[in-house]
Structure 1
């Protein structure tokens, strides 16, 4: 078994009440914790990422006073602030590797991040021989999307669990899931979850 789960940006600023809060984000945090409570042993590696932006600059144009919410954003997930911390409903006790990304630059994908020891996460995954990756977290139409696309590009077999992600825009998120499926990812409910009816 050479499978990892990548938990993307389950942070206070990306959940309700945060700088870029996603409706349903807190519920996703709870569901991810419940899933990991029963399934963490299914993985060689549990990885969790956080945006970790600099406070004293625009992070390579990522922050803007008048953001367009496409390429520029209001300040969020600033290093060391409560907004950058994991959501309290996300139980991190099963996390093996913590990744920080966006330190002074725009970064959407977990694959752009660094582990606490400074290594690129691509090195960590390679060291563990990871060939299969499950992607969950926030937000479907931004960081989850880019992480899943990068995982496919790195030759990994990718699953995105629809019950463990939430997007900013409902219609765009549906388009993104279709895009990811077209790219080769498997779009499915998490194992052990009853399929939705109706």
Structure 2
């Protein structure tokens, strides 16, 4: 079965020192890098996402409720939107940016970054701005996805739910994710399991 790895939002703002840090975010960046070093050959393709906000409306708030509204984070072209330095990006073949003008929790809301480092081969005649993650996975004949990154109870959760809905055999590698709170993380993992996502723990 052709499998893709999706690395979700391992960005400076979501790690310690960022504007919206997840506890253990930097540790997850390093752990994902180690996983890539030892297991990149297990995947047909490897993709990553970036929150990439321009004007996401009520998603940003000076008085956030940390449910539907949040402090300013991952502004397009900002330092905080960059991948965390402990994430080894050498194995990542395509970047998908999401949330320019809305919240966009799921990787499946992202579009291929116009400055993707790796050429798209046969896809070069496709307008990059129009290539969604689902388009790209199907062009590469992907049947299954494994999901890692930040945060378990928000963007990882939304990505996994959309992956199942799109028909992919979906696994979340829990040890390579971190959540905002223990309670909402466990609730998210229960929801994912009920939806048909395989929850993989070491």
Provide the TM-score with structure 1 as the length reference. Answer: 0.92
- The corresponding residue for 1:89 is 86
Aligned-partner Cα distance in 1 for 2:180–2:67 = 12
- The corresponding residue for 1:23 is 23
Q: Do residues 114 (structure 1) and 126 (structure 2) align? A: no
Aligned-partner Cα distance in 2 for 1:19–1:77 = 8
Q: Do residues 74 (structure 1) and 71 (structure 2) align? A: yes
TM-superposed CA distance for 1:47, in Å, is 0.5
- The corresponding residue for 1:159 is 171
Which stretches of structure 1, 4 residues or more, deviate above 3 A after TM superposition?
none
* 1:133-172 correspondence to structure 2 within 5 Å: 133-172=145-184
- The corresponding residue for 2:32 is 32
* 1:92-103 correspondence to structure 2 within 5 Å: 92-103=89-100
Aligned-partner Cα distance in 2 for 1:156–1:60 = 31
Aligned-partner Cα distance in 2 for 1:73–1:129 = 36
Deviations along 1:26-77, one digit per CA (max 9) or x if unpaired, are 00000000000011111111010000001xx3x1321112111111111100
TM-superposed CA distance for 1:106, in Å, is 1.2
Q: Secondary structure at the match of 2:58?
A: coil
Aligned-residue Cα RMSD (Å) equals 0.9
Aligned-partner Cα distance in 2 for 1:36–1:120 = 23
* Unpaired segments ≥5 residues, structure 1: 190-194
Aligned-partner Cα distance in 2 for 1:44–1:129 = 9
- The corresponding residue for 2:3 is 3
Aligned-partner Cα distance in 2 for 1:159–1:141 = 15
